[in-house]
Amino acid sequence: MKRVWVPLASAIVLFAAAATGGPLQVSGKEYADLGNGGTIKLWDGLGNTVSVNPGFDRGDVDALAAQYDLFFPELLTNWAALLVTFDGDPNIYIEDNFGVNYTWAVPAQVDSAGYTMIEALEVWGPEGVSDATIYSLRGDPGGCAVLVLGGGCLYTNAAVGAAIGLSSGAQFDLDALMAYGDQIVFSIRPVSDPTGVSFDGGEIWHWDGKAASASFLNHGGHLWDTAFDVMGTFGVNSENVASIEAVPEPASMALVVGSLGLLAAAIRRRR
């Protein structure tokens, strides 16, 4: 029994360390470019892609998520690293739980055929097929901010707008998304609300859909609020967050491995 756990724990450590270092050890990677028309691309981390069209509503996909995004709970408690892309920048960046950031993937790894930007990002699905069933379209057409593949509207634009304090007259567009059942982590395009509050698009919120208001994501030692300096921190040319995802932290995975060790010890004691 004992021998089983050592290689398993070692494999998890190696996997976790590699996952934060680059995309090759992360499964099920999908992205959508500007003007995608509902076609998204599966990418292998070596620049190769396969185009798929899962049957989204007509329009350009600007945010992708799974029904239960892996590492969503860990992201909320700062136990997972954040993957993030920005308007006008082709790289995927990572922010670890200490707030250190670096480039996680470059265009040659994402799609060697070239692209304008990563409008939507989804990882941790099975290989070779899309598992993105929660999504948004550019402009939130029909007044829907969060759509379910084949299943209508999860959250209307008006409901999301109210949750972040916008007046009903403010025109905005949800443009980045993770999902976990009825919970979402999301960003929007820049918006100036004529009645007051304005956002620069670099905000990331968490909302469970039942609370009256959404709250800013607290990750990397700071709130992802309007005051957070995206351009200065990441060295990019736009404040606007375009897509988000999560990958494990080495520190949190070490604790997982520690837990496995305790579990193994407990099992040994029971035998």
Of 74 and 175, nearer to Ca ion (C-beta) is 175
Q: Residue 57 contacts by C-beta under 8 Å, 6 or more apart in sequence?
A: 38, 137, 141, 142, 147
Of 47 and 139, nearer to Ca ion (C-beta) is 139
Least Cβ distance, residue 134 to Ca ion (angstroms): 12
What is the per-residue DSSP string for 5-58?
HHHHHHHHHHHHHHHHH-GGGS-S-EEE-TT-TT-EEEE-SSS-EEEE---PPS
Least Cβ distance, residue 141 to Ca ion (angstroms): 8
Least Cβ distance, residue 201 to Ca ion (angstroms): 4
Of 61 and 247, nearer to Ca ion (C-beta) is 61
To the nearest 10°, report the CA torsion of 88, 30, 187, 138: 70
DSSP helix/strand/coil, 229: coil
Least Cβ distance, residue 221 to Ca ion (angstroms): 21
For the chain, give percent helix, strand, coil, nearest 5: 25, 30, 45
Of 175 and 245, nearer to Ca ion (C-beta) is 175
Q: At what angle do helices 2-21 and 250-270 cross, to 10 degrees?
A: 170
Least Cβ distance, residue 240 to Ca ion (angstroms): 5
Of 62 and 122, nearer to Ca ion (C-beta) is 62
> Using CA of residue 138, residue 141, residue 146, residue 152, what is the dihedral sign?
negative
Of 76 and 204, nearer to Ca ion (C-beta) is 204
By CB under 5 A, name the binding residues for Ca ion. 62, 136, 140, 173-175, 187, 201, 240-241
Contact 242, 118 (CB under 8 A): yes
Least Cβ distance, residue 256 to Ca ion (angstroms): 31
Q: How far is CA 237 from CA 88, 90, 107, 192, in A?
A: 7, 11, 17, 20
